[in-house]
């Protein structure tokens, strides 16, 4: 079966152009969303992924209607591939049922992986540069050496319960015990 998926970002936008193109492409069933592509949970897309069966073809008017990013697009198409479902994009003339379409999609996948690696390298370089300048990053310590010393003194006193000590120090019990353990 050929199944279509159409999406527009807002309620004000119109799906007619996509619906006409999907009908012309032979779609027997068309699911749709009127929601931003940034949203991960799109009911129409989730329904599509639920109803497709081996041998089916999912058709979209344009690639950006399906995925919110190249990485998301690739993961959706990989999910379809895992279910033995083909994918076709009308505007980009991409069809994973052909060897050329598979090749192009693998090139997209390689580019997405390359992009992820570059982002990771930049992030690591930025963190290393910050460390070299004495910036540590992460969440600041809640208890300094003075607070830890006070906590040890209060705990040794036995006149206060742990809850009171935590209230005095402004920390949770787990935090108190973690710092006392160190």
CA distance 23 to 21: 6
Nearest to 62 by CA among 148, 4, 143: 4
Per-residue pLDDT of the chain (182 residues; tens, 9 = 90+): 999 999 888 777 888 999 999 999 999 999 998 877 566 678 888 899 999 999 999 999 988 888 777 778 888 888 898 999 999 999 888 898 888 888 887 887 788 778 878 989 999 999 999 999 998 888 888 999 999 999 999 999 888 999 999 999 999 999 999 999 87
Give catalytic residues, as residue numbers: 9
What is the DSSP secondary-structure string of 16-85? HHHHHHHHHTT-SEEEEEES-TT-S--HHHHHHHHH--TT-EEEESSGGGT-SSHHHHHHHHHHHHHTT-
CA distance 56 to 84: 8
Sole residue written with tokens 């041998």: 55
């Amino acid at each position: 079966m050929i199944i279509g998926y159409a999406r527009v970002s807002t309620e004000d936008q119109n799906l007619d152009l996509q619906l006409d193109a999907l009908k012309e492409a032979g779609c027997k069933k068309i699911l749709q969303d009127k929601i931003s592509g940034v949203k991960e949970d799109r009911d129409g897309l989730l329904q599509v992924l639920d109803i497709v069966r081996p041998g089916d073809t999912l058709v979209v008017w344009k690639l950006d209607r399906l995925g919110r990013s190249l990485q998301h697009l690739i993961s959706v198409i990989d999910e379809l591939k895992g279910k033995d479902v083909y994918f076709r994009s009308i505007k980009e003339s991409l069809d994973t049922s052909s060897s050329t379409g598979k090749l192009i999609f693998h090139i997209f996948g390689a580019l997405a992986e390359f992009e992820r690696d570059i982002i990771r390298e930049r992030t690591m370089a930025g963190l290393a540069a910050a460390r070299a300048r004495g910036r540590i990053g992460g969440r600041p310590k809640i208890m300094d050496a003075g607070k830890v010393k006070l906590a040890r003194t209060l705990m040794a006193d036995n006149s206060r319960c742990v809850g009171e000590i935590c209230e005095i120090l402004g920390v949770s019990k787990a935090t108190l015990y973690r710092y006392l353990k160190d």
